């Protein structure tokens, strides 16, 4: 079973900063990596699929990169509404443990 490890566990940044979230797979997942955002009390929302493609309606501030085992989600010019937990998922199956992003 492929294991996804996200880092850091928590990230505290200020509005206007750039956030860089990492997801590492225990073996290659090619480009079959997606990123989701989840706010308290809400269902997850798909942000990026196939490592670097933004989902419908997702602002250009969100960008994904990587292939094989190492992936990154970048969020430029952070806004307070970006506070959430971010999860990566491989091949429509297993998820990483999540990164909590706090905007202070």
Which residues here bind another protein, judged by CB under 8 A?
1, 32, 34, 36, 38, 43-46, 49-50, 55-56, 85, 87, 89, 91-98
Q: Please report how close the Cβ of residue 76 comes to another protein at its closest, in angstroms.
A: 22
Q: Please report how close the Cβ of residue 2 comes to another protein at its closest, in angstroms.
A: 11
CB 103 within 8 Å of CB 83? yes
Phi then psi dihedrals of residue 80, to 5 deg: -55, -35
- Closer residue to another protein, CB minimum distance, 17 or 46: 46
Closest CA relative to residue 50, chosen from 69, 67, 25, 26 = 67
- Closer residue to another protein, CB minimum distance, 18 or 39: 39
Residue 15, Ramachandran bin (φ over 0: left; ψ between -120 and 50: alpha; else beta): beta
- Closer residue to another protein, CB minimum distance, 6 or 103: 6
């Amino acid at each position: 079973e492929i294991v996804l490890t996200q880092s850091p566990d928590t990230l505290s940044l200020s509005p206007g900063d750039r956030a860089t979230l990492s997801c590492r797979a225990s073996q290659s997942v090619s480009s079959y990596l997606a990123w989701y955002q989840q706010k308290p009390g809400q269902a997850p929302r798909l942000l990026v699929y196939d490592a670097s493609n933004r989902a419908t309606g997702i602002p250009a501030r969100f960008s994904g990169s990587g292939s094989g085992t190492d992936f990154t989600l970048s969020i430029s010019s952070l806004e307070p509404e970006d506070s959430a937990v971010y999860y990566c998922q491989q091949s429509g199956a297993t998820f990483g443990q999540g990164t909590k992003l706090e905007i202070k």
